[in-house]
Amino acid sequence: MSESKKIKSSEITDERTYLNRRNFIRTGVLAGAAVATGVGYRLFNPPPPKEVVTAEIDDVIRSKPTSLKDELTSFEDITNYNNYYEFTTSKTGVASAAENFVTKPWTVSVDGLVNKPKVFGIEELLKIEQEERIYRFRCVEGWSMVIPWVGFPIKKLLDKVEPQGKAKYVAFQTFYDGSNPKGKGVNLPKGDNGMQSSLSAGIEFPYLEGLRLDEALHPLAILATGIYGKLMPNQNGAPIRLVVPWKYGFKSIKSIVRITLTDKQPITTWSRSAPSEYGFYSNVNPKVDHPRWSQATERRIGEFGRRDTLMFNGYGEEVANLYKGMDLSKFY
């Protein structure tokens, strides 16, 4: 039995709002109701997913052995305890639900306030020098992992398109083929990839995220193409996803198809869904509690007991200067 399966549902909080949960129950969507009750959570868990088979990435520049002392979370836990609402809201069910997700061919459009907008094929992005980055990963729900990502600083991609002086923000968008992207609550049939409707997931799709341009240009912010030296498994956001280690996990948007430079703060999925619970910044902060639970401690997957949550997830020395003079309880 993997460590992740030992986690009791009563120990995990859920990113969705109470309001959303009630909607699920009222509309009789089983998956939603299952998560809401806690008991049902286990009841509706699908059988354990098959092991992920994915290709090795060649020529990864290994991170320095000293980069992080924490023990790595196992490949099994990283690939079988996921949040990817387009597929399912059951964390242990994402791996099997995303099994048939087709991520080849794949393109990422980089556009907006740039001098050289371009549609990049994934092959081209995989030719950018790939580095291993071992980062702590902290979900807003109160669990954490240590993940050996493979990827490259977003800056390397943004440099290619030459952001204009007016560009202040970067908006990211996830692939979506599950239902009508325009209509919240429009429950159209599933696409071929096995994604579900916004209605059953409880958040609007396509999933949107954003960063301030200076955050995106920070050397710790990466576009990840793999984990443990292998190409990104579907459930972790194949073929390319964002990783911003000092922010809560929901900022790390998966399966990116579009990156747009803008002069206005972009709409982001979770803050649109529950503005009082999720802000644009979402920096890990043990002193600013979520309205429904404390953020002071966290449960490291694979460990027993809880650890203290670190300011900026332990990356304060590198990133605190990005937020100088900002009241972080206001800009949460």
Ligand X SMILES: Nc1nc2c(c(=O)[nH]1)N[C@H]1C(S)=C(S)[C@@H](COP(=O)(O)O)O[C@H]1N2
Which residue's CB is nearer to ligand X, number 120 or number 250? 250
Among 82, 179, 198, 260, which residue sits at the site for ligand X (rule: CB under 6 A)?
82
Owner of token pair 């910044």: 281
Distance from C-alpha of 200 to C-alpha of 179, rounded to nearest angstrom: 11
- The 8-class DSSP code of residue 35 comes to H
In DSSP notation, 70-110 reads: SPPPPHHHHHHS--BTTTBS-GGGHHHHTTT---SS-EEEE
Which of Mo ion, ligand X, none is residue 82 near (CB under 5 to 8 Å by kind)?
ligand X
Site for Mo ion in 147-166 (CB under 5 A): none
Q: Which is nearer to ligand X, 130 or 173 (CB)?
A: 173
222: three-class secondary structure by DSSP: strand
Please provide residue 269's backbone torsions phi and psi, each rounded to the nearest 5 degrees: -55, -50
Q: Is 40 exposed, middle or buried (0-12, 13-18, 19+ CB in 10 A)?
A: middle
CB of 11 to ligand X, least distance (A): 16
| Helix (H/G/I), strand (E/B), else coil: 137 | strand
- Beta-carbon count within 10 A of 311 CB: 17
Binding characters for ligand X, 170-189, by CB under 6 A (x = yes): ----x---------------
Stretch that binds ligand X, among 77-85, 127-135, 181-189, 310-318 (CB under 6 A): 77-85
Site string for ligand X, 248-287 (x = CB under 6 A): -xx-xxxx--------------------------------
Binding mask 130-159 for ligand X (x = CB under 6 A): ---------x--------------------
Least distance between Mo ion and beta carbon 205 (Å): 16
**Near Mo ion by CB under 5 A: residue from 52, 139, 195, 319:** 139
Q: Does 245 sit near Mo ion (CB under 5 A)?
A: no
90 near ligand X (CB under 6 A):
no
β-bridge partners, 133: 149
Per-residue interface string for the shown chain with ligand X, residues 206-245, x marking contact by CB under 6 A: -x----------------------------xx--------
Rule CB under 6 A: is residue 86 a binding residue for ligand X? yes
Looking at residue 120, its amino acid is F
Whether cis (ω within 30° of 0) applies to the bond prior to 239 is: yes
Tracing tokens 């694979």 back to the chain, one arrives at: 302
The structure tokens 């020529």 sit at: 59
Positions in 3-32 near ligand X (CB under 6 A): 15
User: Nearest CA to 45 among 36, 35, 55?
Assistant: 35
* Minimum CB distance to ligand X, residue 116 (Å): 26
Mark the segment that binds ligand X (CB under 6 A) among 41-49, 83-91, 107-115, 148-156. Answer: 83-91
145 lies in the site for Mo ion, by CB under 5 A: no
Tokens encoding 136: 């702590």
249 binds Mo ion (CB under 5 A): yes
Cβ(78)–Cβ(302) below 8 Å:
no
30: three-class secondary structure by DSSP: helix
CB contact at 8 A, 277 and 244: no
Q: How far is the CB of 14 from Mo ion (least distance, A)?
A: 10
The contact set with ligand X (CB under 6 A) reads 15, 82-86, 139, 174, 207, 236-237, 249-250, 252-255
Q: Which residues would be at the binding site for Mo ion (CB under 5 A)?
A: 83, 139, 249-250
